[in-house]
Structure 1
Amino acid sequence: MTATVPADEAHMPLEAHDAPIHIGAVSLRVADLPTLTAFYRDMIGLRLITQDEGQAVLGIGSLPLVRLIAGATAPASAAGLFHLAILLPSRGDLANWLAHAAAARLPLEGASDHLVSEALYLSDPEGNGIEIYRDRKRSEWPRTATGDIAMATERLDLQALLREADGRGYAGMPAGTAMGHIHLRVGEVAAAEAFYHRKLGFDVMTHYPGASFMASGGYHHHIAGNIWHSRGAGPRHTGEAGLASFELVARDAEAFDALRGRILAAGGDEAGGSPTIADPWGNRIVLRR
């Protein structure tokens, strides 16, 4: 699967990556590796980069976005992944993906205008949540009276979006697609902020009832945590299905060194070669350049 970014958009950085730290590849532990691999390749539209008996890596070009790891030995517990969020370069790309989903009869679970972005929601065959979205430009993001970013969940007009599809056969997600953010199910919002904000240094951007949205560099959110279905949840179990780990990617050496210091000060280590730490629910985080 190959595709190109339109010439007038090729130079435009993704809003999520215009920050010292952004989200990289998300790793999922799965029970049925062949089925999940086919789903992320054929239904989501990612390219299969590498595959063996124990793992499949999918992404855009040579950039990994989703790693599927075989061998889940227990079902997912209450805490963990709410959804991974794949960010497309433009509204036209989102329209093309929606047309592909409609043609493939891929069931959606939601479609929302969040004021800062437009998003489509679904789950993979093992129940891992997925958001496919596009951002509005930062200059278009609404603000509250105090200057904070204003977000909402309003109905997205799918018919209007479909009218922007180019009508060509779907060739997969386009060049420039990336992981935009990750949304977690946590046991307590205050504990999530204590870890991601106070320990790792992400800024709290806004709140929903029962949820906190945090980011680097003024983005609307790179990491969110909610208690909508996981209030009071404890740590996850070794080997359970769902989120295995996710990457934080530093834009430069200065950002890497700063976050590395925070991770080590918070009890993380570098035993595997990269700074890594688990949040209070056992979600593993790996820092890379």
Structure 2
Amino acid sequence: MPTLSADLRLGYVHLTVSNLERSLAYYQTALGFRLHRCAGDTAYLGAGGPDLLALTERPGAVRHRCTTGLYHFAILVPSRQELAQVIKRVAETRTPVQGASDHLFSEALYLGDPDGNGIEIYRDRPREQWPCNAQGALQSDTLPLDFEGILSELPSSSELWLGLHSQTVLGHMHLHVCNLPETLTFYRDVLGFELMIDWNSALFFSAGGYHHHLGVNIWGTQGASPAPPESVGLRYFTIHLPTQAEVDAVIARAQAANATVEEHPAGQLVRDPSQNGLVFTTN
């Protein structure tokens, strides 16, 4: 069975939005993203380092429910204190929150942007604290978030928050898919991800023993079709591997499995069985 490098990392996620000005205001004001640059109808945002998020405007685009595509993208902040800063900012701006959970290996806040694109902002516990069962399998749960404990991490001084920490990264992606057995075969047996957690209706994959770089689910999307091209939502996200040889090996396996593979300005785009787009490139 193929495996992916433990040095795999995610790069950025590219979304379609209906109103770029509105989306930029949301991501910058409520969540602390920085605008890196604009190119035509596309804006690139992050935390001052590599791009984490690209937004392309399609006026009139709408969200289509019960389709495959984005469930949420997950922004990983480097510490519990940084998560506290985000929570404080969200409260100060009265930004609606969709949920908040303790997953044992992480603590997470869930939101939706003005177009309904799902967002998770989370921090990881140290890996040595991740719980495993007697067989060594990673354990997870969905428990209430300890807001009081997290907010106690805030600095005592009232210094101005300058936005997301420069070490913030795209931690994982979570996708709606139409068929779990096909998806398992594709991500594990073709691409080479390791299956970390199986919730029956959702699967979580990673490289290098991380809790998950990728989640997939069939919550309301069993047998569903992709959203029409004019929809808001996921265009693609990038996956970075250390060498071109590793990228070439992934692409060769995808082509051998008759997956759709396309040349892309950011690398090589592969479509999973639910037509979600992954762009493989090098670090």
State the TM-score, normalizing by the size of structure 1: 0.88
Alignment of 1:262-273 (within 5 A): 262-266=253-257, 267-272=259-264
What is the alpha-carbon distance in structure 2 between the residues aligned to residue 243 and residue 258 of structure 1? 25
Q: Give SS of 2:264's match.
A: coil
What is the alpha-carbon distance in structure 2 between the residues aligned to residue 118 and residue 74 of structure 1? 31
Alignment of 1:130-209 (within 5 A): 130-166=119-155, 167-209=158-200
What is the alpha-carbon distance in structure 2 between the residues aligned to residue 253 and residue 138 of structure 1? 29
For residues 197-222 of structure 1, the C-alpha deviation after alignment (integer angstroms, 9 at most, x for no partner) is: 12111110011241000011111111
Residue 173 of structure 1: how far off its partner (Å): 0.2
Indicate whether 1:111 and 2:100 are aligned. yes
- The percentage of counterpart residues that share the same residue type is 39
- Paired letter, 1:75: R
Tell me if structure 2 keeps the 8 A contact 1:75–1:241: yes
Tell me if structure 2 keeps the 8 A contact 1:58–1:67: yes
What is the alpha-carbon distance in structure 2 between the residues aligned to residue 285 and residue 65 of structure 1? 15
1:251 corresponds, among 242, 247, 263, to 242
For residues 149-203 of structure 1, the C-alpha deviation after alignment (integer angstroms, 9 at most, x for no partner) is: 1111111111221111124322100011000000001112222212211211111
Q: Give SS of 1:271's match.
A: strand
- Paired letter, 2:219: W
C-alpha root-mean-square deviation of aligned residues, in Å?
Answer: 1.8
What is the alpha-carbon distance in structure 2 between the residues aligned to residue 20 and residue 254 of structure 1? 14
1:284 corresponds, among 271, 274, 277, to 277
Partner of 1:58: 45
Partner of 1:222: 213
Tell me if structure 1 keeps the 8 A contact 2:204–2:216: yes
- Paired letter, 1:190: P
Q: Flag structure 1 segments of 5+ consecutive residues without an equivalent.
A: 1-17
Tell me if structure 2 keeps the 8 A contact 1:19–1:218: yes
What is the alpha-carbon distance in structure 1 between the residues aligned to residue 115 and residue 88 of structure 2? 23
Indicate whether 1:25 and 2:18 are aligned. no
For residues 27-66 of structure 1, the C-alpha deviation after alignment (integer angstroms, 9 at most, x for no partner) is: 0011111111121122111110111441110012241101
Change (3 A) 1:268 1:187: closer
Q: Give SS of 1:147's match.
A: coil
Tell me if structure 1 keeps the 8 A contact 2:97–2:111: yes
What is the alpha-carbon distance in structure 2 between the residues aligned to residue 52 and residue 251 of structure 1? 28
2:58 corresponds, among 59, 63, 71, to 71
Residue 24 of structure 1: how far off its partner (Å): 1.4
Q: Give SS of 2:24's match.
A: helix
Indicate whether 1:128 and 2:120 are aligned. no
- Paired letter, 2:63: P
Q: Give SS of 1:35's match.
A: helix
Q: Flag structure 2 segments of 5+ consecutive residues without an equivalent.
A: none
Tell me if structure 2 keeps the 8 A contact 1:236–1:282: no
Alignment of 1:232-251 (within 5 A): 232-251=223-242
What is the alpha-carbon distance in structure 1 between the residues aligned to residue 124 and residue 49 of structure 2? 23
Tell me if structure 1 keeps the 8 A contact 2:264–2:279: no
Q: Give SS of 1:118's match.
A: strand
State the TM-score, normalizing by the size of structure 2: 0.90
Q: Give the stretch that moved more between structures: 236-245 or 117-126.
A: 236-245
What is the alpha-carbon distance in structure 2 between the residues aligned to residue 271 and residue 263 of structure 1? 13
